[in-house]
Structure 1
Amino acid sequence: ADDVEIAIENTGFMDEFFSEIEETRQNIEKIAENVEGAKKLYSIILSAPIPEQKTKDDLEQLTAEIKKIANSVRNKLKSMERSIEQDEVQSSADLRIRKSQHSVLSRKFVDVMTKYNEAQVDFRERSKGRIQRQLEITGKNTTDEELEEMLESGNPSIFTSGIMDSQISKQALSEIEGRHKDIVQLESSIKELHDMFVDIAMLVENQGGVLDNIELNMMHTVDHVEKARDETKKALVYKKKAHKVSPQAPICAQPPPCWERTNGSQRYYDFHGSKPPEYFFEHLGQ
């Protein structure tokens, strides 16, 4: 067992820091709850030929709330990062605690935003599949590339202009136009959140090996952090027991499916797949 001495310095500042950490943690949990809510609404919208407007309004409101809270979390994490960088010359217990807390929250934020992005992309693909099936009902067979062309153009009439004037075709046309509108709105949200994700993913990536053991360190320090807040300006010495833990896989912040410009048009590209994360970071801003 090792004796670890934690000197409690600048208690007022650390109290404020812990309050910010707790607020940020709660905001990340709120995002996670909203993501689950959005996934349920995605399923409802996909299961109905003509989704109710209230369901779409609820989804729009939830999407706006996720964006608002995510922006707040992103700004808070970056503010913490700047503060930590300014105090980098110090080697105090306070600084180590701040780094640990910040790193864990950054990781959790990336994880929850990745899940949200995956849910959005899944909704887009399934909506596109519904459009393709409705086109088939009207006698229009389209390839995946042709559907992407329609979505990028923002003009569904490319494939709907010649649809026969029958009751079945009218219903199919209505669904096609509705799904197309849903996808256009979704893509705007995906692009906005992708920019935010890149910002935080780069932050996590730059932390390097610090993240590999960060959660283990947090298990040992979190209880002592609470005691430190009560033991104002005192040194707290405690016994840290050695635990044998299976090695964790290295943490690497891979971006979610995102946008790649090709000949002036925007396309989805899955960087989880055939391209390594290094490709993604090398091509930022192009």
Structure 2
Amino acid sequence: MTLLSASDQRVTECNMKDRTQELRQGKDPEEVDEVAVGIEKGFMDEFFEQVEEIKGFIDSLAERVEEVKINHGAILASPNPDEKTKADLEELMTDIKNLANKVRSKLKNIQQTVEQEEALNHSKNPSADLRIRKTQHLTLSRKFVEVMTEYNATQSDYRERCKGRIQRQLEITGRNTTNEELESMLESNNPSIFTSGIIMDCNISEQVMNEIETRHNEIIKLENSIRELHDMFMDMAMLVESQGELINNIEKNVSSAQEYVEKAKEETKAAVKVQKTSRTGDMIDRIEYNVDHTVDYIKDALFNTKKAVKYQSKAHRKKITIIICCVLLGIVVASIIGGVLS
């Protein structure tokens, strides 16, 4: 994926702001906010794609550094290593240099974008997106420096081991050298400086001469490689060191956040347990209350039922009395009518 240049990114940001302004003039505020959030989300999605790409490059660097270590061991184990092993080592070193430059360039682009936005944003509280990008940039930079530091240490260790082999071979021939003398000879970049005096002093075997020259050539290649990456390494190391306090604060905040999350989880569990207990108690209280009231209702119902039965009995007796009275009254009336007719 191709990264935007600094100028392209500025144009994109301006277009985003202009577009948002146009939307605000003719759209509902909520709809405009949704569109603006969508634009910002798309921008952050692209940023995270860049982050994943850089992570992949750094992982590839780490893998190649491990392969370099293996090749170093193979070359040191043989007095005259085969050409394929040496060619593989040179190819790995070239790949590391190219990948490192690519990572550095991408990190520089992100850094420039962050710095430009910080310059435009004069508020003391930067946006969440800006903080995320800054944190990601610092995290990637530190990881990159860690891998390159390991590579530098690997190269330095290999140089010392090659130098030790040269010194032992010289001792075999009877030519003892101090560390300072050997360093001076290595800095000459002339392999013959090790063998010219020896050939005059004794009949040294060609194998010893070849090994001395091989180790010296390896050291020259190493120094060239270290020199090529030195400026880049120092640049990134200084960046990480200057931002070290911020990274430590980020780690502290993350650690604190994790502690707060764990504490909150425990407190939530306790609260749920208490809530469940509380709810159970409330339910029992409500049941007891309802039972008590039900008993009262039953008592009232029984009392009212008894009263109703009593009233019903009295009404029944009154009804019978009225019927009897009506019958007697009918008989009396009939008798009177019969007497009159007679």
Is 1:138–1:164's contact at 8 Å kept on the other side of the alignment?
A: no
For residue 167 of structure 1, report the CA deviation from its aligned partner: 7.5
Is 1:104–1:215's contact at 8 Å kept on the other side of the alignment?
A: no
1:207 and 2:237 correspond: no
Cα separation, 2, equivalents of 1:111 and 1:125: 21
Match of 2:283 in 1: none
Match of 2:198 in 1: 163
Match of 1:276 in 2: none
Change (3 A) 1:131 1:108: same
Asked which structure has the greater CA Rg, the reply is 2
Match of 1:77 in 2: 107
Match of 1:135 in 2: 170
Q: Quick one: which of 157, 160, 167 aligns to 1:125?
A: 160
Q: Which structure has more RCO (C-alpha within 8 Å, separation ≥ 6)?
A: 1
Match of 1:241 in 2: 261
Deviations 1:206-264 (A, max 9, x none): 2241110334556899xxxxxxxxxxxxxxxxxx6267xxxxxxxxxxxxxxxxxxxxx
Match of 1:67 in 2: 97
For residue 205 of structure 1, report the CA deviation from its aligned partner: 2.1
Cα separation, 1, equivalents of 2:256 and 2:56: 21
1:182 and 2:218 correspond: yes
1:146 and 2:181 correspond: yes
Normalising by structure 2, what TM-score?
Answer: 0.60
For residue 176 of structure 1, report the CA deviation from its aligned partner: 0.5
Cα separation, 2, equivalents of 1:51 and 1:167: 23
Is 1:103–1:214's contact at 8 Å kept on the other side of the alignment?
A: no
Normalising by structure 1, what TM-score?
Answer: 0.72
Structure 1 unmatched runs, 5+ = 1-6, 222-239, 244-286
For residue 77 of structure 1, report the CA deviation from its aligned partner: 0.7
Greater percentage in strand: 1
Percent of aligned positions that are identical: 58
Cα separation, 2, equivalents of 1:162 and 1:208: 52
Cα separation, 1, equivalents of 2:66 and 2:227: 20
Change (3 A) 1:220 1:80: farther
1:42 and 2:72 correspond: yes
Is 1:104–1:214's contact at 8 Å kept on the other side of the alignment?
A: no
Deviations 1:93-125 (A, max 9, x none): 101111111111111011010000000000000
Letter in 2 for 1:172: V
> RMSD across aligned C-alpha pairs, in angstroms?
2.4
Cα separation, 2, equivalents of 1:242 and 1:95: 27
Cα separation, 2, equivalents of 1:219 and 1:72: 32
Cα separation, 2, equivalents of 1:132 and 1:34: 29
Partner SS state of residue 10, structure 1: helix
Letter in 1 for 2:84: K
Is 1:31–1:112's contact at 8 Å kept on the other side of the alignment?
A: yes
For residue 25 of structure 1, report the CA deviation from its aligned partner: 0.6
Cα separation, 2, equivalents of 1:196 and 1:135: 36
Greater percentage in helix: 2
